Each structure stands twice: as structure tokens, then as C-alpha cells.
């Protein structure tokens, strides 16, 4: 039996948990079943209580205190402990001993045992932390995805929903950096992706609709326009002692141009717009997710229940 789910990802502050709440509310209003999984050990406040919470297995505060780690290192340790992955940096290869593999399966049973009973009517919503290292260049989430989709017994059809805050469009270098992280996650996870510009209500009125539309399919010409609006960038000598010059000058422009050209060459990333206050916007995102995981194709057709009339024998004979 197939199962269906979405991985909600993106940098810190992108509105992942807020989107999860809006998505769950929309599903409930449309009488659809959902199962909410919190995989962020640092998350505390929820509008909807998670059906499965990673903090029941391991908490960020305990890890930071016992291991002497900061928030980022603690989050990475939490995920590596759950999946017991030992990455050998020097050779960039992943080695798993027989003991580690047994522990891996034992810890992943935390997810498997909870998701196994779910029917194909459920949409599993997995809320991930905002440390993008987890799914851009550290093989933790990719291994988790493989367990959920291929190597484990769950056979979950997954779609990643990668959120990027829409205010990034104001700083185009920052926008392309965020777009590059989205593309990196697409390549690492190898599952269908829906990339989303979140918090659209924050840019309404400040960015013209025609200009905003250009960011939905990013290309390097956006940087050309940015330089045209700031002709002083990229010219003249830059004082290395000036901290403000780190984010400007010819070298910075060349770096941004190379990143934008890389994104343009791959032509993988496009964005949908999300305003969680707009029910139609949330429903539109959900329809893209449903299409990506082929949710509706697996559902049994439902017909309205006909009114049951109990005819007596006399009426039947008459």
C-alpha cells in the first residue's frame, strides 16, 4: 500500500512551521486526513500538536548541554544520532558497519512504527529544521528520504516543499544564494520538488507584480538589471579594510554572476507564490504537491451515498 507525504524544508525563518499549520488547517477543512511529524528538535510552539515529535526521541537542549555544542552543531548531531550516519570527510564516502546498520534500522523504527499503519488517504507532513546543511551537503536527510521511499518498508511517495522567504527578492545576490540552496537540495534528495516563495504578504506593494513575476523563473539577467540600477557596483578600487566592501565590488559581482549562470544552466528551479493567509494560495500549493506524488490517482473513487429506502413487500408487489 502506497503512502504519501511532503518534506517541508528551507532556511531558518522561511515560515516552514507556519506553512505546515496552514496546510494542516486546509486539509482538515477539506476533510482530508493528515499526519504531522515534527523533525525539528528545537521547535517548541505548535498550532497543531504533532502526531510524532522527534523531541520524544532526542532533544536539542540535552544534546547542547551534554555534548557542549551550539544550536547548529546540536541539530546536526540530533539527526546523525537518529540515523547513526558516520561520514568520513577525507574520502567523502559513507561507511556503515554492521552494528551501525542495526542501530540505524532500530532508530528509524521510531518513524516506521508510527507511519506503517497509515492508509493511502493520509498526507504525511514532515517539518524539518532550518539548518540547510542537513539537506544541501550533509547526507543525513538524503539517507532518511531513501529509508522512507525506497530502502524501508514504508514506500512513501514524497515531494519536497522548499520554502524561500519572498523578501530575498529585494537583495538579488541573497535571492540567488537561496535559489542555489534549493537546487542543491533538489540534487541531493532526488525526489519531486516544489519550490515556494513564502510570506508574499510582506512584499505586496513594495515590489511590482510584473517585476516579482520574473523571480518565479530565475535567470542571470536579474543580476544585470540589479547592476544597471547600481552603476557604481563593480567599478573602482575597493578598500579591503572596509567591511562594507565585502558584499560589493567586482569580485562579489563575478561570484554572483557565476552562481546565477549555474542556476540558469541547470534550469531546474522555479517558484510558486505562497500567502498563508489566503486559503486559495495554500490550496494551490497543495494541488502541486498532490500532482507531484500522484495522490489522487491512488484514491478510491467515492460516490454519494444513495438514500436507502426500505420498501415493504406490498409496495414491491404493487
Stretch 15-25: mean pLDDT: 95
Asked if 84 and 107 count as a contact pair (C-beta separation under 8 A), the reply is: yes
**What is the pTM for the complete model shown?**
0.77
- Cβ neighbour number for residue 77 with a 10 Å cutoff: 18
Quick: pLDDT tens for 99-112: 333 333 346 777 88
**Between 208 and 224, residue with greater pLDDT:** 208
Quick: pLDDT tens for 267-295: 999 999 999 999 999 999 999 999 999 99
**Between 27 and 303, residue with greater pLDDT:** 27
Across the chain, the runs of DSSP E, i.e. the strands, are 3-9, 34-38, 52-53, 87-88, 93-94, 123-127, 156-165, 193-198, 271-273
C-alpha cell at 6: 511532503
Indicate the range of 138-152, 159-173, 235-249 predicted with least confidence: 235-249
Q: Say what the pLDDT of residue 59 is.
A: 56
**Between 314 and 85, residue with greater pLDDT:** 314
Among 274, 265, 128, 249, residue whose Cα is nearest residue 195: 274
End-to-end, the C-alpha distance of the chain in Å comes to 48
Asked if 137 and 188 count as a contact pair (C-beta separation under 8 A), the reply is: yes
Amino acid at each position: 500500500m502506497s503512502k504519501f507525504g511532503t518534506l517541508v524544508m528551507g532556511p531558518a525563518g522561511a515560515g516552514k512551521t507556519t506553512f505546515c499549520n496552514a496546510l494542516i488547517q486546509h486539509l482538515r477543512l477539506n476533510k482530508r486526513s493528515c499526519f504531522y511529524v515534527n523533525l525539528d528538535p528545537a521547535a517548541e510552539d505548535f498550532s497543531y500538536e504533532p502526531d510524532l515529535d522527534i523531541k520524544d526521541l532526542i532533544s536539542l537542549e540535552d544534546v547542547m548541554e551534554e555534548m557542549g555544542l551550539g544550536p547548529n552543531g546540536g541539530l546536526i548531531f540530533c539527526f546523525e544520532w537518529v540515523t547513526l550516519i558516520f561520514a568520513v570527510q577525507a574520502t567523502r564516502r559513507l561507511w556503515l558497519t554492521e552494528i551501525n546498520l542495526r542501530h540505524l534500522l532500530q532508530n528509524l523504527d521510531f518513524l516506521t512504527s508510527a507511519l506503517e499503519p497509515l492508509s493511502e488517504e493520509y498526507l504525511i507532513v514532515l517539518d524539518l529544521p532550518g539548518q540547510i546543511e542537513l539537506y544541501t551537503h550533509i547526507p543525513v536527510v538524503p539517507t532518511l528520504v531513501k529509508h522512507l521511499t525506497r530502502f524501508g518498508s514504508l514506500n512513501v511517495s514524497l515531494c519536497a516543499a522548499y520554502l524561500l522567504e519572498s523578501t530575498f527578492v529585494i537583495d538579488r545576490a541573497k535571492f540567488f544564494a537561496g535559489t542555489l540552496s534549493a537546487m542543491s537540495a533538489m540534487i541531493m534528495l532526488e525526489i519531486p520538488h516544489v519550490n515556494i516563495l513564502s510570506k508574499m504578504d510582506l512584499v505586496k506593494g513594495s515590489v511590482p507584480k510584473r517585476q516579482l513575476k520574473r523571480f518565479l523563473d530565475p535567470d542571470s539577467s536579474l543580476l544585470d538589471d540589479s547592476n544597471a540600477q547600481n552603476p557604481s557596483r563593480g567599478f573602482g578600487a575597493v578598500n579591503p579594510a572596509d567591511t562594507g566592501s565585502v558584499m560589493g565590488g567586482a569580485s562579489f559581482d563575478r561570484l554572483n554572476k557565476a552562481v546565477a549562470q549555474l542556476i540558469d544552466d541547470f534550469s531546474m528551479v522555479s517558484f510558486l507564490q505562497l500567502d498563508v493567509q489566503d486559503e486559495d494560495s495554500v490550496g494551490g500549493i497543495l494541488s502541486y504537491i498532490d500532482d507531484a506524488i500522484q495522490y489522487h490517482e491512488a484514491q478510491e473513487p467515492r460516490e454519494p451515498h444513495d438514500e436507502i429506502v426500505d420498501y415493504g413487500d406490498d409496495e414491491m408487489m404493487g
